[in-house]
Amino acid sequence: MERIGYFFFFQAEDGIRDAQESRGLGDVYKRQAQMSLPPERWAMSLRQFKQLMAGIRSTERYTELKRRHGMVNMYMVCDDFIKPWTAGTGCSIALLMNGEHGLAADAMASHAWGEDNEELEQALDNFYTHLKLDPDQAVWICTLSQYQCKPSLDTDDVGPTIGEQLELDPFTKVIESDGVANGSGLVAIHTTSADLYTRLWCPFEISRAALKKIKLTAAASDSFREAMDADYFYFLKDVAANSDAATAFEMFALKNLTVQTENAQCSFAADEAMIRQHVEQSGGWALLDKIILERRKRFFNDYTRTKASVSSSVQQQLDQSVRESNLRAMKQFESAVPLMGKVLGGVLGALGADEDQGEMDDAFAALEKE
């Protein structure tokens, strides 16, 4: 038996959850517990996340899933562990680990669900390490922060349903909460096992954060970083012959960093219609794709700065390449759609371009009036 968090115990041989009340939880297992707290308090710390995943990985079921599929993604984590362990409690695993007051989020992870859980943990580890964050700071991960109800013939699930939780608009409320807005912001999780930009909720979360001027950040697993390195240095050494880092970077970005969020999918038609309407009313898909591209460029640029293999002269060329790309993007949008150009200029300023913050505020204010 392994103790996880405050009162969860896992049996390694079969993954069955034994729950014991503690910290005076009382009615925490009832339906109203999840819904009585604001969504931003449904978070868990990185330390708790790592403890939880260690408990899951110690089970025979996890070993079998990994043997059969080669990895265990977050859909499997949810279906095979989170749902049976929390069934009938009416509370998410994060809330069960933190008691009746929950834990307020300092960051929100935007992730694909289809990614390898081990890559997800690695990306979060890298993110916390890079920003020198305390592992007790909380992150909101929808798989673990929402109650994943499990209606079945043998389980009297008291809810709430996912639909009932979505009526609270939890993603927007978490993104705009004081802890996230003034903390580490929205972090996009990049892995080699799944592309977060193909899950429509992820572009929606990024669009909401950008519209409300919330900090956009990124995190990547080691394997994702290694794959990016290999591609970039191919373009630098074999195509540009080490002579033009800016051109190499643009080719690399064209191949690896561009996105087409309009092609992303969502399981439920009503959710998809809501998300598409939001994006189209908030500047459109081209703007959203450009915001994501420039944020990813900035992330890669910051990441390569820490690598000894990148010389100072090459790094200067990369910096200049990103600045020039930002300026070209602003000019293109200003000539095509003046308002969108102003919005993009403000967003790019927040992502590291040399633009005035006041312009960003004015641009978004104008967009919201439209």
Print pLDDT tens along the chain (370 aa).
Answer: 233 433 444 433 333 333 333 333 333 344 457 888 999 999 999 999 999 999 999 999 999 999 999 999 999 999 999 999 988 888 899 999 998 899 999 999 999 999 999 999 999 999 999 999 999 999 999 999 999 987 655 556 667 888 888 888 899 999 999 999 999 999 999 999 999 999 999 999 999 999 999 999 999 999 999 999 999 889 988 998 777 888 888 899 999 999 999 999 998 899 999 999 999 999 999 999 999 999 999 888 777 654 534 444 444 555 555 556 555 554 544 444 444 444 444 444 444 443 444 444 444 444 444 4
Match 């300026």 to its residue by tokens: 327
**Helix residue spans in the chain (DSSP H):** 32-36, 46-57, 60-69, 74-77, 83-86, 93-98, 117-131, 142-145, 162-166, 170-176, 178-181, 201-211, 222-234, 245-256, 269-281, 285-304, 312-336, 338-350, 357-369
- Residues in CB range of 338: below 8 A, 6 or more apart: none
**What is the spatial distance between Cα 51 and Cα 2, in angstroms, rounded to a whole number?**
10
**What is the spatial distance between Cα 328 and Cα 224, in angstroms, rounded to a whole number?**
28
**What is the spatial distance between Cα 138 and Cα 135, in angstroms, rounded to a whole number?**
8
Helical pair 285-304 and 245-256, crossing angle rounded to 10 deg: 130
pLDDT of amino acid 326: 54
Q: Quote the tokens at residue 209.
A: 């954060």
Residue 21 · residue 7 · CB < 8 Å: yes
- Residues in CB range of 340: below 8 A, 6 or more apart: 283, 284, 287, 333
pLDDT of amino acid 322: 55
Residue 162 · residue 267 · CB < 8 Å: no
**What is the spatial distance between Cα 206 and Cα 66, in angstroms, rounded to a whole number?**
31
- Residues in CB range of 113: below 8 A, 6 or more apart: 73, 74, 75, 78, 143, 194, 199
pLDDT of amino acid 168: 86
Beta strands in 2-54 (DSSP E): 2-4, 8-10, 17-19, 44-45
**Exposed e or buried b per residue across 217-253, where buried means at least 16 C-beta atoms within 10 angstroms of its C-beta:** bbbbbebbbeebbeebbebbeeebeeebbbebbbbbb
- Residues in CB range of 311: below 8 A, 6 or more apart: none
| Phi-psi region at 35: left, alpha or beta (left = phi > 0; alpha = psi -120 to 50) | alpha
Residue 304 · residue 232 · CB < 8 Å: yes
